[in-house]
Amino acid sequence: MNELWFDIMGAIVTVIVAFVVGITYMGLSRKITARVQNRKGPPFYQNFIDALKLASKTSAIHHGFMQHVGPAFMMITSIMSVLIIPVLRGNAWFVNLNFHGDLIFILYIMVFGPLGMALGAGQTGNPNSAIGVTRGLSQMVGFEIPWVMALVALMMQYHTTSIVDLMNVQIQSGMWLMFSSPFAFIAAVMAMLGMFRYSPFDIVGAPQELASGPMSENGGKYLFTLMSSGSIFAFAKLTLYVDLFMGGAGNLVELVIKTFALYLIPMLYGVTSPRYRTEQSIRWFWGWPTFFGFLAIIYAVVF
Amino acid sequence: MQEKKIKNKIIKRVKTNFKDARDRNDFKYNRLDFSVKKEIIPSVLFYLKDEMGFIHLSHISCVDWLEEGELEVVFILWSPEEKIKVFVRTRLDRDNPVMDNLDMIWRQANTYERELREMYGIQFTGLEAPDEFILEDWQGPPPMRRDFDTEAYSNETYFHRPGREDAEDVRETITKRSGEDIPDFAKKYSR
Amino acid sequence: MNYIILVVFLGGALLTFFAGKINNVLQDILFLASILVPASLFFAYVHAGNIFNLTLGGIHLSLGINAMSWLFALIVLGLGSMAAFYSVSFMKGKERRGYFYFNFILTIMAMTGILMSRDLVSFFIFWEIMTWSSYLMTVYNGKDVQTVGIKYFVFSAIGAYAMLMAIVVIHSINGSFMIEDLVRSFPEMPVNMQILIPVLLLTGFGVKAAIMPLHVWAPGAYSNAPMAYTSIFSGALSKMGIYGMVIVMVSLLSYVPEGYWFREVIAWMGGITAVIGTLWAIKQDDAKKLLAYSSIAQLGYIIVGIGIGTPLAMMAGLFLAVVHALFKGTLFLAVGAIERQTGTSNFREVTGLIRKMPWTFVASLISIISLAGIPPMGGFVGKWMLYESLLTSNHYLLVIVIFFSSTAAFLYCYKFLFGFFLGQEEKEWANVKEAPVLMVVPMLILSFFSFLLGTYPGIILKPIDAGMQYLGYGITQNHLWQTSVIFNTWGNQVVLQPLLYSIIAIFLFFLIFLTIKSFKQTRYVTTKDISSSGEVPKEHENLTFSVDFMQPFMRAVEPVMRRQIDKYYTGLANGLEALFDFMRKIYTGNGQTYAIYVIVFVVILLLFKDILF
Amino acid sequence: MINDKNSQKIVDFISNWARKHSIWVLGYGTGCGAIEIPPTMTSRYDAERLGIRGAATPRQADVLLITGYLTTKTLKRVIRVYEQMQDPKYVVGFGSCTINGGMYYDSYNTINVLDKYLPVDVYINGCMPRPEAVLSGFGKLQQLIGEGKANGATKYKENLEWYRANQKKVIPNWVMPEYNW
């Protein structure tokens, strides 16, 4: 029984760390965007304040049961992925469900929440929400191809589907997979641009044309849950990339440095790019990223 | 010269076909001007469109002749071939302004007619447009008629915040400050 | 016992058909009885080794059951009895109920017969009964009965002839119709026979399993049959093709060297079937058509698993076959319920039924999540095993193809749920009511099982294991499968139970948080009260987004969609017709012409005498 | 503990602080005033440094910013948007048109005094107010929120009948959903 409580405490600590780090990154991204645009920008903790304000909103509306539970579905995805992805190497607090799932499970649990959220958005009856959802799902088909190709290349090369094993491979060989499987890393990073939905791939939210798309009917506590789930999920995705390609992290400082370095890629790419149309975005992902994915698989088979 | 010839031709042909059409053309601009009775408006417009090539309806306008007790409806047509405008005017009784609906000749007439119906209260027989055009939920008299007192209506319908009465006139204040006189051309605008 | 079951089926069918003349309620009861009594007899008394022999006209017929066919019988009879309960309510007040019931029972009987057959003759007879009864159901009613019926008929005929030819060839070599003799003698056959027989048999089975070039009949036939029947048409009847393919791929081809190429080709055909089915499913606006194409795609996954043929892949294929029967059966039943309550199954017309038909929504939601392969539903376990088996057997490109198809499947999954249940609640559907209890309960039972298999796959993995051992897979797999842990040959595992508990815990926590946070100030508003630029939508204004739903995606994949296999078949048919027309011209009907033909023929013979002889 | 007055004070203080520093604005740009918003938001004046940013829909917004005159037709939409917003919510009237009608004071279809129809928390004077004035107006709003005095929504709830009577006077054909919070 004590072990169970220990596990639950560890899970709670993991989630809190993920929330804090993720939401700080979002604030930093606003700050950096502002600096690029020659503005002063909000303080880096601005997103904390936003989340707190949304949580302290006193009223909320929903259009039905699915919209009410949509954010909870989204939370399942975020928290499950942060629990299954190893946060730190060999730390007793962060061994949550690391040994209970593998890469393919992660791939599928990652779409659980967006689908539940999409159902919630669908029930609002707002046409903008449904359009945003169709765009998001279409784009997902686009970037999943290079992403899966990169993962398949890794799994083929090292004969494992476990993330922990892939981390161990990097420790034993002393070389990050980023350098030993470069093409897989390139394909995965290109897919990451779509995963984070920064410009030019922000076709789902698209505030100018879709009024924030699937979120357009969510306010107050619903938006708060979605926002915190988004920041936890962003942290989970970054940690997954660090685990797969940069050898994981031994302590939290190392983790923060590595994840932030990765986070800069989609953000800085986004600051200077206008938005794609949906089919342009899909075709972009089926162009060079998929080519690099093929190269990664050939590299994995040949070497 | 060529233009004048064409204009003369058009005037002649219209006048032979429609006996009571009066023209007041000055040949200064590239436009013609006819006044006809409201009963023959559709046939005049049909004639101008089909025979004379005035295929485009630019606008339907209205003038309120309050002193004469009449409303004047003006149809402005344009011939892309001859590059000539035609104004066709007709007068309606101000108390009971009724005339024929014309949107079977030009589809766009529908829009203008809805506007005139709301703004001047002109009834077009058989105009199919159930919704309001611009004035949603309007209850007062047609607002564009000259006997409609917009300030009184505004004061009566909407709230009035006091403090505007002792507001200074802008021009007077400026002249007072700078010590210059109001220019003659601006005097008529001052209070 | 074996043949008593079939006789009960047949007698039940006839009794049900004629009972309709007397009393409708009696007919319903007889119908249910003639499905349920043989089904319970089957599970109570029939087990492996219980063989019934019969010699008819000098041909030795044999009926019996083995572990493999017991698994498929579970699908057929389980789904069949659920669909039977549903049918009673579904057919209330419809015309030609006797016809429907008769064919329904006959199909179940034929499928049971196929699974029991131990010789090729009775196999073929039952196969034909199944084909005919399903053909009669396809033309029961519907919009374009003629084209659909002809397509199904032609393809079934092609399959049947191919199978008949294979049976004749086998008999000419073996001198016996028994399947055991075929399996025993197959490795010693000449190489050309080793290729010809599987090709012919796989053509026959491939038609029913809707494999890629032979799938064109499926969308029309699935969507035209009554939905109560389509659930077993797609859920169970197509599995007969899978059953045949399993026997051919494993019992015959795994013992000969050519088997490798067969496996690769079949697996790739399955992969391409999955992609094509998915892409076309996304385009459909009719729920029946969407599910029909989705069935083709799902059968593609199963064929991939069977084609690869490693123990894990075979297990994935069979597991997916069971799960597919569960969720696709449920979805077709749900569409039937919606069509019965609203009168249409088109996404453009029906919207916002979630508050009107909540239980149908719950069943559809669980089935759709299972179809999409998202944990914690049964579909995930099957997909997971399929990916792991493809990875461990080095089919890396096939993994990408399958993954593309299964990611694109989210698009039509969402389209199905959104189209029917979500979106604006229209006034037109304000008075729609939930389907009768007898229709809802079977759907809920089936969807509950697809939820259960996601956490406790061991329930169904045990019979699958037994079936695979019967086919000759090693006994070592027994210790590989525990109740809720699945793992691949590399040793990587997914432990399902803690994952499910975590998911439920997180969900409940946030559900409670969302509910109690400012509970008094949380309000339900109608779908008309949306933030659409400050406008109040009027009653007649339809704000639902349902036309060209997946347009951005369709634009991206447009080059692929331009090629339709249907067109090639039409071209082939036209070409053949022209050829026959030409042949017709040779026979002028004039005796003089024929005389000239004879003379020319003789002259040619004389001229080329030396070369020819 | 929760009902304790001091802890309630602390909670209020924290939430007011958060509300004050995170203001999501829904700009209702009917009149000419909307052109003053882009310079306020972009590099020159950069309102985002104060936590002010645009909101996409009424459901997410905190502040309804009405930039300029309102005709009876647009007033209907503004009321609807306001009622769709989630509590706590504030209204900022922008420009003299919203205060006393401005240069449209005698027009037959523009309302003159906004606060008879919606509870305005802060007015920004001017025709047009420059971005400095806008920022100072938002500073005043932040101050009011911090002190807990920006309670326009509560006022609206309490005097709903009076507001409704005023609104229905200019919008006789009333087809909006019930406002029940």
Flag if C411 and A134 touch (Cβ within 8 Å). yes
Give me the DSSP letters along A23-67. HHHHHHHHHHHHHHTT-----TTHHHHHHHHHHT---EEESSHHH
Burial C508-527 (b: 16+ CB within 10 A, else e): eebbeebeebbeebbeebeb
The boundaries of the domain holding residue C244 are 1-249
C179, C275: one domain: no
Q: Which pLDDT tens digit goes with each residue over D104-117?
A: 888 888 888 888 88
Q: Are the CB atoms for D100 and D15 separated by under 8 Å?
A: no
Q: Residue A90: is its pLDDT beyond 80?
A: no
Is the pLDDT reported for residue C232 higher than 80? yes
Enter the tokens of residue C436.
Answer: 């009768």
Best mean pLDDT range from B59-63, C371-375, C489-493, D3-7: B59-63
pLDDT of C474 higher than 80: no
Q: How far apart are CA C122 and CA D100, in angstroms?
A: 94
Phi, psi of C529 (to 5 degrees): -90, 65
Which residues, including other chains, have CB under 8 Å from residue D124's CB and lie 6 or more apart? D92, D93, D94, D95, D133, D134, D136, D137
Domains: count for chain B: 1
Chain A CA closest to residue D15:
A56
Please give the DSSP secondary-structure letter assigned to residue C493.
Answer: E
Q: Looking up tokens 């604005």, which residue turns up?
A: D25
Q: What is the pLDDT of residues C170-193, one digit of tens each?
A: 888 888 888 888 888 888 888 888
Q: Judging by DSSP bridges, how do beta strands A60-62 and C522-524 pair with one another?
A: parallel
The C-alpha atoms of residue B35 and residue B91 are separated, in whole angstroms, by 8
CB-CB contact of C69 with C242 (8 Å): no
Rg (CA), chain D: 17
Is C474 in the D-facing interface, judged by CB distances under 8 Å? no
Query: How far apart (Å, rounded) are the C-alpha atoms in residues A147 and C400?
Result: 10
**Helix, coil or strand: residue B124:** strand
pLDDT score recorded for residue B190: 58
The angle subtended at Cα A125 by Cα A124 and Cα A129, nearest 5°, is 75
- Sign of the alpha-carbon dihedral angle for C154, C159, C163, C165: positive
**Cβ contact (<8 Å) for C408 and A301?**
no
AA identity, residue C530: I
Cβ contact C374:C410 at 8 Å: no
C507 and C461 co-located in one domain: yes
* C-alpha dihedral, A219 to A220 to A226 to A230, nearest 10°: 110
Angle formed at CA D110 by CA D108 and CA D113, multiple of 5 degrees: 120
Helix/strand/coil percentages in chain B, nearest 5: 30, 25, 45
Strands B22-23 and B31-35: antiparallel
CB within 8 Å: D80 and C525: no
The predicted model gives C423-433 an average pLDDT of 81
CB C211 within 8 A of CB C155: no
Cβ-Cβ contacts under 8 Å, A279 against chain C: 552-553, 555-556
User: Could you report how far apart the first and last alpha carbons of chain B are, in Å?
Assistant: 49
CB C534 within 8 A of CB D80: yes
pLDDT at C612: 63
Residue C131 within a domain: yes
Instruction: Report H helices in chain B.
Output: 2-17, 41-50, 109-120, 150-157, 170-178, 184-187
Q: Same domain for C296 and C234? A: no
Distance CA C51, CA C60 (A): 13
Q: Quickly state the pLDDT bin for C478 (edges 50, 70, 90).
A: very low
Is the pLDDT assigned to residue C235 strictly greater than 80? yes
Residues C182 and C288 in one domain: no
Average pLDDT over all residues of chain D:
85
Distance from CA of A254 to the nearest CA of C (A): 28
Strand partners, B59: B76
Q: Is residue C292 part of a domain?
A: yes
Interface of D with A (CB under 8 A): 14-15, 18-19, 21-22, 24, 42-43, 46, 48-51, 53-54, 56-57, 59-60, 62, 85-88, 181
> What is the least distance, in Å, from the CA of C519 to any CA of chain D?
13
**Beta strand pairing status for C59-63 and B56-65?**
unpaired
What CATH number was assigned to the domain covering residues D21-129+144-170? 3.40.50.12280
Q: Which domain holds residue B19?
A: 2-136
C61 close to C54: Cβ distance less than 8 angstroms = yes
Amino acid at C150: I
| Spatial distance between the Cα atoms of A126 and D57, rounded to a whole number of angstroms | 11
Does C464 score more than 80 pLDDT? yes
DSSP C408-439: HHHHHHHHHHHHHHSS---GGGTT--PPPHHH
Which residues does residue B65 pair with via DSSP β-bridges, in sequence order?
B70
- The answer on pLDDT for B25 being more than 60 is yes
Q: Residue B174 domain-assigned?
A: no
Amino acid at A170: Q
User: Is the whole-model pTM more than 0.80?
Assistant: yes
Interhelix angle A278-285/A127-158, rounded to 10 degrees, is 0
Domain count, chain A: 1
Q: Do chains D and C touch (3 or more CB pairs under 8 A)?
A: yes
DSSP 8-class letter at D108: S
Check: CB of residue C400 under 8 Å from CB of residue C408.
no
Distance between start and end Cα atoms, chain C: 62
Q: What is the mean pLDDT of chain A?
A: 86
pLDDT at D99: 86
Q: What confidence tens digit (pLDDT) does each residue in A172-217 have? A: 888 888 888 888 889 999 888 888 888 788 888 776 777 777 888 8
Q: Which residue of C has its CA nearest to A279?
A: C556
A289 touches A143 (CB < 8 A): yes
Q: Are residues C285 and C190 in the same domain?
A: no
What is the length of chain B?
191
**Cβ contacts (< 8 Å) between B160 and chain D: which residues?**
112-113
Give per-residue pLDDT as tens, C250-287: 888 888 887 888 888 888 888 988 988 898 888 888 88
On the question of a cis peptide bond just before residue A207, with omega within 30 degrees of 0, the verdict is: no
3-class secondary structure, D142: helix
Q: Which residues of B touch D170 (CB under 8 A)?
A: 137, 157-158
- C-alpha to C-alpha distance for C204 and C202, rounded to whole angstroms: 5
Query: What residues of chain D lie within 8 A of the CB of A220, using their CB?
Result: 86
In Å, how far is B177's CA from the nearest CA of chain D? 21
Q: Do D180 and C523 touch (CB under 8 A)?
A: yes
Q: How many CA atoms lie within 13 A of A117 on its CB side?
A: 30
Q: Picking from A134-143, B170-179, C50-59, which range would have the lowest pLDDT averaged per residue?
A: C50-59
SS3 D95: coil
Q: Are residues C240 and C285 in the same domain?
A: no
- C524-540 residue pLDDT tens: 888 777 877 777 777 66
Closest CA relative to residue A131, chosen from A32, A214, A25: A214
Looking at chain C, the whole-number percentage of residues with pLDDT higher than 90 is: 2
Strand partners for C286? C346
Contact A128, A213 (CB under 8 A): yes
Question: Which residues does chain D have within 8 Å of residue A52's beta carbon, measured at their own beta carbons?
Answer: 14-15, 18, 22
pLDDT confidence bin for C479, thresholds 50/70/90: very low
For residue A248, give the DSSP letter.
-
* pLDDT tens by residue, C360-419: 999 999 999 899 888 888 888 888 888 888 888 888 888 889 988 988 888 888 888 888
Distance CA A109, CA C15 (A): 51
- The count of structural domains within chain C is 3
Cβ atoms within 10 Å of A264's Cβ, excluding its own: 14
Element (H, E) at C332: helix C311-342
- Residue-wise pLDDT tens digits, A228-268: 998 999 999 999 988 888 887 888 888 888 889 989 888 88
Q: Are B98 and B120 in contact (CB under 8 A)?
A: no
Q: Cβ of D180 and C528 within 8 Å?
A: no
Phi/psi of residue B139, each to 5°? -120, -20
Per domain, the residue ranges of chain D are: 21-129+144-170
- Is C533 a domain residue? no
- Mind listing the pLDDT tens digit for each residue in C483-496? 677 777 777 777 78
DSSP three-state, residue C26? helix
DSSP state for residue D116 in the 8-state scheme:
G
CATH number at B23 reads 3.30.460.80
Whether A73 sits inside 8 A of C352 (CB atoms) is no
What are A4's two structure tokens?
Answer: 């169970």
Give the sign of the dihedral formed by CA A288, CA A294, CA A297, CA A301: negative
**What pLDDT shows up at residue B80?**
87
With bands split at pLDDT 50, 70 and 90, how would you rate the model's confidence at A1? Answer: low
pLDDT of B166 above 80: no
Q: Among A29, A37, A39, A47, pick the best mutation site for testing chain D contact (most D Cβ within 10 A).
A: A39
Confidence class for position B132, pLDDT limits 50, 70, 90: confident
C558 falls within a domain: no
ω into residue C376 within 30 of 0, thus cis?
yes
Tell me how far apart the terminal alpha carbons of chain A are, to the nearest angstrom. 48
| Domain stop point among C227, C249, C271 | C249
Locate A42 and state its tokens.
Answer: 């909000």
Give the separation between CA B175 and CA B173, rounded to whole angstroms: 6
pLDDT digits (tens, 9 = 90+) for D127-145: 888 889 989 999 999 999 8
Do C235 and C326 have their domain in common? Answer: no
- Considering only CB atoms, D49 lies closest to which of A38, A41, A218, namely A41
Beta strands D70-71; D110-111: pairing state: antiparallel
User: Per-residue pLDDT averaged across B37-51, rounded?
Assistant: 85
Residues 6+ apart with CB under 8 A from D26: D54, D55, D57, D58, D61, D63, D64, D65, D81, D85
CB contact under 8 A, A220 and D86: yes
Tokens of A243: 């685990």
Q: Please give the share of chain C, as a percent, with pLDDT higher than 70.
A: 96
What average pLDDT score do residues A124-142 get? 86
Residue C548 lies in a domain: no
Q: Predicted confidence band at C142 (pLDDT cuts at 50, 70, 90)?
A: low
pLDDT for C482 beyond 60:
no
Say how many C-beta atoms besides its own lie within 10 A of residue C62's C-beta.
20
CA dihedral A262, A268, A274, A278 (to 10 degrees): 0
Three-class secondary structure of residue C321 per DSSP: helix
Can you give the residue range of the structural domain that contains A289?
A: 2-302
| Interface B-D: count of C-beta contacts within 8 A | 53
